[in-house]
Structure 1
Amino acid sequence: MEHPCRPSHVRRLPLLGAEVDVVTPDMVMDFISAARGQKAIVANHNLHSLYLFKKRADMRRFYDHAALIEIDSVPMIAWAKLMGHDVSRAHRCTYLDFRDTFWGRAVAEGWRVYHIGGAPEHNAASKQAILKRHPGAQLEVRSGYFDVNGPANELLLADILAHKPDVLLVGMGMPRQETWILNNLDKLPECVILPVGAAFDYEAGVMYTPPRWAGQMGVEWLVRFFHEPKRLFERYFVEPWVLIPQMLGDLRQRGKRTA
């Protein structure tokens, strides 16, 4: 599905059974700025999302609606380079790397930002951390702990509409955040929508934040694993094996291109 907001100059690549866009964080910020007043999803792919993409039809439908699909994975970039695609580390887009660029643009251009996610007892701390670095930010924060099928969901949707955000950040973990966006897309206002996972838990200081050099070196996943081995073992050491057929497909396509 070709999204009407999708920039024509952005390269979209087939990779590991899905599609991703070759964009830098600055290109994403420019897209957000240009797409204000329109409903547009900026999604992202990593190895976990690719696993879910293969297993779940609702995740595939979600990505069908995305105007941009960032690469949030150094291993994916390394694989794309191995497959002969013109990509680099500069094309990794993840909140912890671009957060200050995002909030700087938000302040400079007056973006109204609304975040859903995190436990209610942490929301004040995450908002305070952002406002301390970027005092002019216009930010509303709401908890992600609610029944997505109950009255609380309707109250939240009404609150979002009342605040008329330019940017909606949904940080409820994957795939809950993606399915919530998909299921409520028609009821959301005209705004740019980004699933951001645990972004505000990092802001609140309640989740370990890997040093940025780990991301630059491509070992951030390993640092995360050592801090949360029980939660992340399956994600990092079991799920990637499911992608072997997709890897073989990429290898066949590379062979055709170079034949």
Structure 2
Amino acid sequence: MRINICGVEIDKYSFDEVVELIINHALSQRKPEYVVTPNAMHIVTLQEDVEFQEIYRKAFLVVPDGVSLLWAAKFLQTPLSGRVNGTDLFEKLCAIASEKGLKVFLLGGRPGSAEKAKKTLVARHPSLQIVGTYCPPYGFESQLTELNSINSTIIEAAPHILFVGLGAPKQEKWIAANYLYLGVPISVGIGVSFELVSNMVTRAPVWMQKAGFEWLFRLIVEPSRLWKRYLFGNYTFIWLLIKQRLGLFKRLPNTKRSDHF
């Protein structure tokens, strides 16, 4: 079952159900798929970005990363089953991958963050096979040689799960352009999760995460980078929700998804 939030279809799975679906797909090594983890800014960006809409339409799973989406679903009287936070998902999948013998690759993040995240995760799970980490240079998406090098590195490493931390919508667009060629069973866009796991960026206290104020904590920690996203983005998101509740919102043309299961 899916919930429509401002024209975007969100899967109504619990955190544990999402983990199970991803692990089962990775183990089966069927047709490559990818997972997107929307928050309020994704919803706002999707209103105008047709390419982003198409990426969402083809996604294996669309799971609610932001607490704002849980609030929105309740406001629209179509509640979701819970939050599927990208960083929590990253950590849980790595924990299970260590038990199941699944190999993972970490692409993106700030310089050094993927390698530090690897050290942190392997210290927790000594049997975890992180078969590669790479932080591409700024502007790599327009450099054919760099793109080919990244693809060759990932293909040679042959991971079961590829975690991509390039920020939205760059990470989703890169995944969509490359996932079939790479042949990795599951690719997941996870934003700043490498930095959070490695403590390069401080994560909000648990009580703030549960209360839905993780965004506020991040704004306080990185105001110069995030103030426009959260202040203007949240205002736009709220207005879109009000329009939908009043029946004034028109469905986005390229977000109707087909079933994968």
Band of TM-score, shorter chain:
0.7 to 0.9
TM-score by length of 2: 0.86
Distance 1:187 1:99 in 2: 23
Would you say 1:160 and 2:154 are equivalent positions? yes
Distance 1:20 1:65 in 2: 13
Q: How does 1:92-241 map to 2 (within 5 A)?
A: 92-139=83-130, 140-145=132-137, 147-149=140-142, 150-241=144-235
Would you say 1:14 and 2:4 are equivalent positions? yes
The counterpart of 2:63, out of the listed 61, 70, 73, is 70
Give structure 1 stretches of 5+ with no counterpart.
1-10, 254-259
Task: Give aligned pairs, total.
Answer: 242
Name the % identity. 24
Q: CA deviation at 1:28?
A: 1.4
Contact 1:117 1:145 (8 Å CA) reproduced: no
TM-score by length of 1: 0.86
The counterpart of 2:43, out of the listed 44, 47, 50, is 50
The counterpart of 2:15, out of the listed 18, 22, 25, is 25
User: What's the counterpart of residue 247 of structure 1?
Assistant: 242
Give structure 2 stretches of 5+ with no counterpart.
249-261
Q: Counterpart amino acid of 2:222?
A: E
Q: CA deviation at 1:227?
A: 1.4
Q: CA deviation at 1:185?
A: 3.0
The counterpart of 2:79, out of the listed 86, 93, 96, is 86
Post-superposition Cα deviations, 1:145-167, rounded to whole Å, max 9, x if no partner, equal: 25123201101101111121110
Change (3 A) 1:87 1:245: closer
The counterpart of 1:40, out of the listed 13, 33, 55, is 33
Any runs of at least 4 consecutive aligned residues in structure 1 with deviations exceeding 4 A, and if so which? none
C-alpha root-mean-square deviation of aligned residues, in Å?
Answer: 1.9
Change (3 A) 1:45 1:123: closer
Higher RCO, Cα 8 Å, sep 6+ = 2
Contact 2:19 2:89 (8 Å CA) reproduced: no
Distance 1:17 1:190 in 2: 29
User: What's the counterpart of residue 257 of structure 1?
Assistant: none
Distance 2:8 2:188 in 1: 18
Distance 2:195 2:91 in 1: 16
